[in-house]
Amino acid sequence: MSHRDTLFSAPIARLGDWTFDERVAEVFPDMIQRSVPGYSNIISMIGMLAERFVQPGTQVYDLGCSLGAATLSVRRNIHHDNCKIIAIDNSPAMIERCRRHIDAYKAPTPVDVIEGDIRDIAIENASMVVLNFTLQFLDPSERQALLDKIYQGLNPGGALVLSEKFSFEDAKVGELLFNMHHDFKRANGYSELEISQKRSMLGKRDADRFRGNT
């Protein structure tokens, strides 16, 4: 059962580093729905893409699987034999809940749920790889190496599904989308304090990363 996200509803004297800990994992379904426009549609589309691209006897990788929403969407849409899904995340709290979610929905396609670093996983015999809002959490200097590894591990006709935040060179367009995103959060019940504190914590993470303090 998901709880309502109130992590930033009260003033926090000292904002620490953003981590996907037990508190975040507990409210993550509510948080992601209220923070990412169209998230449910993205998950549904990942399943539709799986139906088109997953090939018999191959593997699917969900890199940064969080609670397993994309994994389950893929699994529901695999109609071939001898396929396997490998779901990996480095958060123990997320992985624990992901395993529970996967076990609750029985299907023929097996799923290996792994607690680990997506940079260390071998990509082999893959017909589909999912990076659903995951790449942003890697240092920019490490992203291309992961994408290259995925490319090398994809079978002919395979697909990389990449959902990601991005910025525009045009400052006016960037400001418009920034403001619209915050309007979306407000419309979903987040207060100015919640928006500001979460933005500050994530901004600190990004600043530390660019300084090399990952």
Here the CATH number for the domain that contains residue 62 is 3.40.50.150
Q: What is the dihedral of CA 148, 150, 154, 158, to 10 degrees?
A: -110
> Which residue has tokens 């899904």?
85
44 annotated ligand-binding residue? no
66 annotated ligand-binding residue? yes
Tens digit of each residue's pLDDT, the chain (214 residues): 568 876 666 776 565 666 788 888 888 888 889 889 999 999 999 999 999 999 999 999 999 999 999 999 999 999 999 999 999 999 999 999 999 999 999 899 999 999 999 999 999 999 999 999 999 999 999 999 999 999 999 999 999 999 998 888 899 998 999 889 889 999 988 888 877 777 777 764 443 433 333 3
88 annotated ligand-binding residue? no
Is 67 within the bounds of a domain? yes
Is 22 within the bounds of a domain? no
Residue 212 CA to residue 200 CA, distance in Å, equals: 18
Is 10 within the bounds of a domain? no
Is 94 within the bounds of a domain? yes
17 annotated ligand-binding residue? no
Among the listed residues 65, 84, 62, the one whose alpha carbon sits nearest the alpha carbon of residue 150: 62
Do 176 and 120 fall within a single domain?
A: no
Is 8 within the bounds of a domain? no
Q: Which of 163, 187, 202 is the last residue of a domain?
A: 163
Among the listed residues 128, 131, 111, the one whose alpha carbon sits nearest the alpha carbon of residue 119: 131
Which residues span the domain enclosing 200? Answer: 171-214
Is 138 within the bounds of a domain? yes
Do 88 and 129 fall within a single domain?
A: yes
The domain total for the chain is 2
